[in-house]
Chain A
Amino acid sequence: MRFACPQLRPPPPNLTSLMRTALLLGLLVANPFVTAISAAPSSSPGFAEAVEPYLREHCLRCHGPARHKGDLRLDALGRDFAGGSETERWIEVITRIGAGEMPPEDEPQPTAEASGRVIEWLSARIKEGEATRMAKRSPVTHYRLSREEYSHAVYDLLGVRYDARAPGAFSEDPDWQGFERLGSELSLSPSHVEKYLKAAAEIIDQAFPDTKPFQLKSHRDALAIDWGNADKRKELDALGITPRIRTLFWPGHEFSYLRPDGGYRQAAGLYRARMQVSGLTPAGGRAPHVTLFSPELDRMIFEADVLAPEDKPVVLEFETFLPAGKFGIKMSNAVPGPSNSPRSGRNGNHVFTTLKDPKSRDPWQRKLTDDEGRPLYPLLIFDWIDWEGPLEKPDDVRKREGLFPAGDKNTDKSSAEEVLACLTRFAQRAWRRPVTREEILPYADLVTRELAAKAPFRAAYKTALLGLLASKNFAYIAEGSPTENRAVLSEWELASRLSFFLWSSLPDEKLLAAAEDGSLRTREGLQAEAARMLGDPKIARFTDSFPRQWLQLKKVGSFPPDQKLYPDYDDWLEQSMILETTHYFDEMFHKNLPLAQFLDSDWTMLNPRLALHYGIDPPATAGFERVTLRPEQRRGGLLTQASVLSLTSDGTRHRPVHRGVWVSQVVFGKTPPPPPPNVNAIEPNPVNEPKATIRQKLAAHKANANCAACHAKIDPLGLAFDNYDAIGRWRTHEIVLAGKGDNPTVDASGQLPDGRTYADAAQFKRLLAARPEPFARAFTTRLAVYALRRSMTLEDEQAINLIVRQTKSRDYRLRDLIEAFITSDLFRQR
């Protein structure tokens, strides 16, 4: 949210002293677009050429050999831009020039262009310095696992689900441009350690329970969840009606008793639910949407659109992790509809059986259908829900084999050797490398000490496991060794890098075996493992997580759209938007499609909710489907997906400058520097002036030569999408709240810095897709940031270009590119 440069109107007359300052404000922003496309860093001029002449002419008289005003001597100031105190001073210099404070008013003034060039050059060096700083590696570098990786690793290690996002579990990881796994950003605080300990205790108890968990099997029918009628079961049984009873959920209606019937005996673990429902869609409307939500767990247990005729219900099946104990699960038909609050009593003397029998509904409920019984609103009809669990899946059970000493039946004790052997096996898997006896002995001692303190054997042994999971060796991925300075990863480190890249988790046994026998060191061995892993179902973690981070999808809904302006917006739409994008990425990956199809295509992935949002005929089934698009549907590629258009808006208005910055980052791999601080405020549209589009207001930038220098590069990248509103709907007129007259017409035309022009988003996307190379480079860089957990620097550029060149002949196909990256030198280096 830092990039809107709110310099839209000239300063008011009573602030004339600030006028001159304001005129120079635009200068700070560099020229991202041109650098992205043409200038390679090697061809850029040096300090002597780019900055010195300017300093000599405008600065050194006061800040040079003769005088050092403000204790600043620019000719003697070092050229270190890597983040030290000299860098701080250069930042100060840029800020002063950019804000128009230097040179002072009574000195000869440089042209805006000249100041702009100097600022641009210095900003670029400072940015490179920052990247180098973030990428800095010591002899041993530690990268903390993100909370997402922690969960996956725990599951792959022990077959235990741990919900790291649950209330009171781990807090959200900080991100850098969307990436939530950068070593420099993922710091660790005492509260992390406390949470590791708490989580580890829960996980270990679940993996190795002291008593056999209560096996639950429960069935609730339509009458059981309808608390208003549940007490009439005997009468209804007698009348023979019970088997026909169903529960009708009108829009917004909910019932609370959907949880498994296990009370306090319910053990933590994986549960399977099966649920029979019908879902009726009104003509031209949206499908009913079933949600199962737990307020205590603050988690959506399950949700789906339901498309099934009244007489042909479907059985929905899902598995979910549930913690121990008692908590509510509410079921709702989460769609907007008529308010039923004045008449919400559902229990008259009517028990619902079928829409065909109006008498089975309360009088007001009869208005939910027309006279023929066709639904006028999305209606959900529930029959029953079954729960069973905790599920003991053979694959999960196998993971735990050999990790807990079998012990002697009589003494409940195990030999010291067996303890040591089990702990060693556990540590090797959890720590993802061979461990020495010396490393394990302190943990074995823990067991001994606990036993000496009269703890039962199981508790004593679990204390040691707790330690192994709380150890830095589990929480951190470590690369390097304290004794030698090496640039290349060891085979164990390589195995971890590969598995955390593709599976967001620790290596499996096969991968560890390839590390152990040395085959991972060979190109063929690495290729073979990569191919196997790319084909494994766990790759879904990559195709889901990478696009979320790369495209900053976390920002979708972070400023919830204004319900007054966007009454149609709801949680399921928000989820659907994000899912379109992750499904799109998944499809690109599995079909190995050319990267250019991220920029422009004639297809997308839609579910009924999103199809309705886009005004496209909904797919026949409830989930996401690939849909072929016609040009007049105005979609295709990532850039016109509702997720992207929303996350670059602020919930109230679309933000062309944010959109421009996002396109610049994602498509061209360049982040424009933020605007200078201290800019003038945008004053709101006066009520008695004609309505103006944001674009018309941004035109003030163009009127001001200094602002134009930078905004001319950013704005066209965003204005191209002006036909899409803040939640990504197509429009021809921009709705403006204050002002006189009609809502103004949208103009989405523009010109790229290279001269090519476009009339609208469709043409703009075509122009981008026609020259995909800068995008391929930007994409590969982002892939490397994700895999290597650090920012990329100038030193990495050559290696990245090499990967891009390798994949050019086949149009930079997604999977090809990932494979080329894995076998590149870059991937194998620290």
Chain B
Amino acid sequence: MNTFRQSWLLNRRHVLRGLGVSIALPMLNCMRPLLAAPVAPKAKRSVFIYLPNGVNTIDYQILEAGPGYRFSRGLKPLERHRANITPISGLHHPHGLGHHHNCQSIWLTGAEIGQGKRNSISLDQLIAGKLAAQTRFASLELSDTGRSLAFNGDGITLPAETKPRDVFRRLFEAPAGGVGKEREALHRRGSVLDVVLGEARALDRKIGSEDRGRLDQYLTAVREVEIRTARADGWLDVPRPTVPDPVRRHLTRDVPQTKPSDYFRTFYDLMVLALQTDTTRVITFSSGDEGKGLPVPELGINQTRHALSHHNGDPDQLDRLTQSDAFNFEQFAYFLDRLAETRDGDTPLLDLTVSLYGSGMAYGHSHGNANLPIVVAGGRKLGLKHGAHLDFNMGHFQGYDLDEQGSLKTSHYQLCSRPVNERARLSNLLLTLAQKMGVETPTFGDSLQTLSQLEG
């Protein structure tokens, strides 16, 4: 530790005290270099995975509520995890109704967005904020296009990474120039931040609090980067987990999106590794963008999920949509397989990790955003209970409308476009998950209550 570093750290303490920022423990620890980071046993983890453009709701809807339900064709691949999942029907975001493909941006926020209205914090970021100091990376944002599901406290979207290889390198490979060089760069950054922050605060003092406007954003952002820089400095002394060579080779391959099963599974393997090594505890994965949900050439499906979802009743295309749905659920089932076989101590990772899988759209053809396809999986040790189909439509309509063969009639699309149970909000589920992850908050977005049926 050179003298310069000392001065910067002193400086930082001073600045932080001046601002009244409360500092998490590892941040203070960076003054006394951490020698090893013990993996916190039984840490709670959470994963959020988006499926774009809804599903073929006719083939997806489960018809019976409670335990012992029959798996629908679309959901069939998840049957082997029956004991560890809860499919939920009837949820919606009130602000998503009639807002088409915006549903992706508000899936984890529930906010009303549009002209002059900004998004709000997404659930994953709320959790990440709480856990930030515990892991090297507060959260991971993954996506097939670079558009993520994550929004910060100002409602600004965080960028996402699209290539497993790039993510692996960032997470598990030490900086190229070595720790010393990295530390120098961080300290240089710290000094620069001091100066630009001082400059902005000088103006800030002149203009008075009610007129700061966007200068405030800048101040907040720079302060946050200061904290992150100090944290990164602390983590420099903590060695990165050693990854066995075969795993490293597997995760640093160039995986094209034209082979989606390989692409998804590689990402899922990477996510399991990140959770297992406690590199992060919060991950969002937009497995497909509303505009660019991956085709599945290996099944002969060459249309994006958006194109598939605008089927206009074409039976062939509807069948392909169901196949694509089942394909996506199969990949998710693989992720759950991996979580179940991976252990943290003697506990399967699956029991320590809650996954939310689903879409902000139900009936894509007409942009129906009600009765959303949603599955919650894992996380028993967080206090979640599984095994039943939770159906919030029940009691609010006259039952699913079936033809002579027992298939849903197309009138089901109405249920997927306007909610029959206005109190069944997706935010209720998001609130439940927030609390289970240890965020103490009585509400999330427009939530009305928690989902007690899910609580064990």
In the assembled complex, the Cα of A807 lies from the Cα of B214 at a distance in Å of 36
Residue of B nearest to A134 (CB): B116
A473 CB contacts on chain B under 8 angstroms: 199
**A187 and B313 contacting across the interface, CB-CB below 8 Å:** no
- Surface stretch bound by A, among B81-89, B204-212, B380-388: B204-212
B247 CB contacts on chain A under 8 angstroms: none
Q: Which of A172-191 contact B (CB under 8 A)?
A: 174, 176-177, 183-184, 187-191
A483 CB contacts on chain B under 8 angstroms: 206
B401 interfacial by beta-carbon distance below 8 Å: yes
Contact partner, A188, options B146, B221, B291, B368, Cβ 8 Å: B221
- Known contacts A139-B207, A482-B206; is A189 also within 8 Å of B98 by CB? no
B41 interfacial by beta-carbon distance below 8 Å: no
B30 interfacial by beta-carbon distance below 8 Å: no
**B192 and A193 contacting across the interface, CB-CB below 8 Å:** no
A97 interfacial by beta-carbon distance below 8 Å: no
Residue of B nearest to A197 (CB): B189
Contact partner, A449, options B191, B213, B410, Cβ 8 Å: B191
**A678 and B218 contacting across the interface, CB-CB below 8 Å:** no
**B212 and A138 contacting across the interface, CB-CB below 8 Å:** yes
Residue of B nearest to A467 (CB): B192
Contact with A along B17-30 (1 / 0, CB 8 A): 00000000000000
Contact partner, B221, options A141, A192, A651, Cβ 8 Å: A192
Which of B220, B310, B398: most chain A Cβ within 10 A?
B310
A310 interfacial by beta-carbon distance below 8 Å: no
A453 interfacial by beta-carbon distance below 8 Å: yes
**B307 and A141 contacting across the interface, CB-CB below 8 Å:** no
A171 interfacial by beta-carbon distance below 8 Å: yes
A15 CB contacts on chain B under 8 angstroms: 411, 414
**B291 and A559 contacting across the interface, CB-CB below 8 Å:** yes
Contact partner, A1, options B101, B155, B196, B215, Cβ 8 Å: B101
B367 CB contacts on chain A under 8 angstroms: 1, 4, 6
B14 interfacial by beta-carbon distance below 8 Å: no
Contact partner, A681, options B94, B101, B306, B363, Cβ 8 Å: B363
Q: How far is the CB of B205 from chain A (nearest CB, A)?
A: 9
Q: How far is the CB of B144 from chain A (nearest CB, A)?
A: 13
In the assembled complex, the Cα of A449 lies from the Cα of B192 at a distance in Å of 11
Q: How far is the CB of A278 from chain B (nearest CB, A)?
A: 31
In the assembled complex, the Cα of A440 lies from the Cα of B78 at a distance in Å of 62
**A193 and B157 contacting across the interface, CB-CB below 8 Å:** no
B166 CB contacts on chain A under 8 angstroms: 167-168
Q: Which of A426-446 contact B (CB under 8 A)?
A: 439, 442-443, 445-446
In the assembled complex, the Cα of A679 lies from the Cα of B97 at a distance in Å of 9
Which of A187, A466, A650: most chain B Cβ within 10 A?
A187
**B291 and A560 contacting across the interface, CB-CB below 8 Å:** yes
Which of A130, A473, A652: most chain B Cβ within 10 A?
A652
**B225 and A190 contacting across the interface, CB-CB below 8 Å:** yes
- Known contacts A193-B225, A684-B410; is A472 also within 8 Å of B215 by CB? yes
B335 CB contacts on chain A under 8 angstroms: none
B40 CB contacts on chain A under 8 angstroms: none
In the assembled complex, the Cα of A414 lies from the Cα of B233 at a distance in Å of 31
**A439 and B97 contacting across the interface, CB-CB below 8 Å:** no
A829 interfacial by beta-carbon distance below 8 Å: no
A733 interfacial by beta-carbon distance below 8 Å: no
**B98 and A482 contacting across the interface, CB-CB below 8 Å:** no
**A2 and B98 contacting across the interface, CB-CB below 8 Å:** yes
Q: Which of B289-324 contact A (CB under 8 A)?
A: 291-292, 302-304, 306-307, 310-315, 317
Q: How far is the CB of A80 from chain B (nearest CB, A)?
A: 15
**B218 and A472 contacting across the interface, CB-CB below 8 Å:** yes
Contact with B along A564-578 (1 / 0, CB 8 A): 110000000000000
Residue of A nearest to B205 (CB): A482
Interface size of A by CB at 8 A reads 90
Q: Which of B84-130 contact A (CB under 8 A)?
A: 94, 97-102, 114-116, 118
Residue of B nearest to A482 (CB): B206
A476 interfacial by beta-carbon distance below 8 Å: yes
In the assembled complex, the Cα of A665 lies from the Cα of B154 at a distance in Å of 29
- Known contacts A470-B192, A679-B417; is A142 also within 8 Å of B215 by CB? yes
In the assembled complex, the Cα of A329 lies from the Cα of B162 at a distance in Å of 20
Contact partner, B159, options A83, A139, A171, A562, Cβ 8 Å: A171
Range of interface residues on B (Cβ < 8 Å):
35 or more
Q: How far is the CB of B194 from chain A (nearest CB, A)?
A: 9
In the assembled complex, the Cα of A177 lies from the Cα of B114 at a distance in Å of 10
Contact partner, A653, options B7, B155, B304, B310, Cβ 8 Å: B310
In the assembled complex, the Cα of A193 lies from the Cα of B94 at a distance in Å of 34
Q: Which of B116-169 contact A (CB under 8 A)?
A: 116, 118, 146, 152, 154-159, 162-163, 166
In the assembled complex, the Cα of A563 lies from the Cα of B292 at a distance in Å of 13
Q: Which of A75-101 contact B (CB under 8 A)?
A: 83
**B228 and A190 contacting across the interface, CB-CB below 8 Å:** yes
- Known contacts A197-B192, A470-B192; is A190 also within 8 Å of B224 by CB? yes
B195 interfacial by beta-carbon distance below 8 Å: yes
- Surface stretch bound by B, among A213-221, A385-393, A592-600, A669-677: A669-677
- Known contacts A183-B214, A190-B152; is A454 also within 8 Å of B306 by CB? no
**A678 and B156 contacting across the interface, CB-CB below 8 Å:** no
**B4 and A449 contacting across the interface, CB-CB below 8 Å:** yes
**B306 and A189 contacting across the interface, CB-CB below 8 Å:** no
A450 CB contacts on chain B under 8 angstroms: 4, 188, 191
B55 interfacial by beta-carbon distance below 8 Å: no
Q: How far is the CB of B276 from chain A (nearest CB, A)?
A: 25
Residue of A nearest to B369 (CB): A677
Q: How far is the CB of A186 from chain B (nearest CB, A)?
A: 8
Contact partner, B314, options A443, A677, A738, Cβ 8 Å: A738
Which of B4, B254, B302: most chain A Cβ within 10 A?
B4
A177 CB contacts on chain B under 8 angstroms: 115
In the assembled complex, the Cα of A274 lies from the Cα of B250 at a distance in Å of 38
**B192 and A446 contacting across the interface, CB-CB below 8 Å:** yes
Contact with A along B255-293 (1 / 0, CB 8 A): 000000000000000000000000000000000000110
Residue of B nearest to A465 (CB): B192
**A142 and B156 contacting across the interface, CB-CB below 8 Å:** no
**A188 and B214 contacting across the interface, CB-CB below 8 Å:** yes
In the assembled complex, the Cα of A283 lies from the Cα of B354 at a distance in Å of 60
- Known contacts A193-B225, A738-B312; is A678 also within 8 Å of B418 by CB? yes
B3 CB contacts on chain A under 8 angstroms: 453
- Known contacts A139-B211, A446-B192; is A191 also within 8 Å of B159 by CB? yes
A558 CB contacts on chain B under 8 angstroms: 291
A130 CB contacts on chain B under 8 angstroms: 115-116
In the assembled complex, the Cα of A466 lies from the Cα of B158 at a distance in Å of 24
A194 interfacial by beta-carbon distance below 8 Å: yes
In the assembled complex, the Cα of A240 lies from the Cα of B203 at a distance in Å of 74
Residue of B nearest to A15 (CB): B414
**B217 and A188 contacting across the interface, CB-CB below 8 Å:** yes
B214 CB contacts on chain A under 8 angstroms: 141-144, 183, 187-188, 476
A188 CB contacts on chain B under 8 angstroms: 156, 214, 217-218, 221
A736 CB contacts on chain B under 8 angstroms: 312
**A142 and B307 contacting across the interface, CB-CB below 8 Å:** no
A685 interfacial by beta-carbon distance below 8 Å: yes
A190 CB contacts on chain B under 8 angstroms: 152, 220-222, 224-225, 228
B99 CB contacts on chain A under 8 angstroms: 2, 674, 677
Contact partner, B217, options A187, A564, A686, Cβ 8 Å: A187
- Known contacts A651-B306, A652-B307, A684-B410; is A466 also within 8 Å of B207 by CB? no
- Known contacts A2-B99, A681-B363; is A140 also within 8 Å of B192 by CB? no
B60 CB contacts on chain A under 8 angstroms: none
**Can you name 12 A-B residue pairings with CB atoms under 8 Å?**
A6-B417, A15-B411, A188-B218, A295-B254, A475-B218, A559-B291, A562-B310, A563-B303, A652-B307, A677-B99, A681-B416, A683-B411
Q: What are the 7 A-B residue pairs with the smallest beta carbon separation, nearest first? A: A684-B313, A453-B4, A681-B417, A677-B98, A562-B307, A138-B211, A482-B206
List 4 extra interface pairs beyond A174-B157, A466-B188, A675-B98, CB under 8 A. Answer: A449-B4, A472-B199, A674-B114, A681-B365
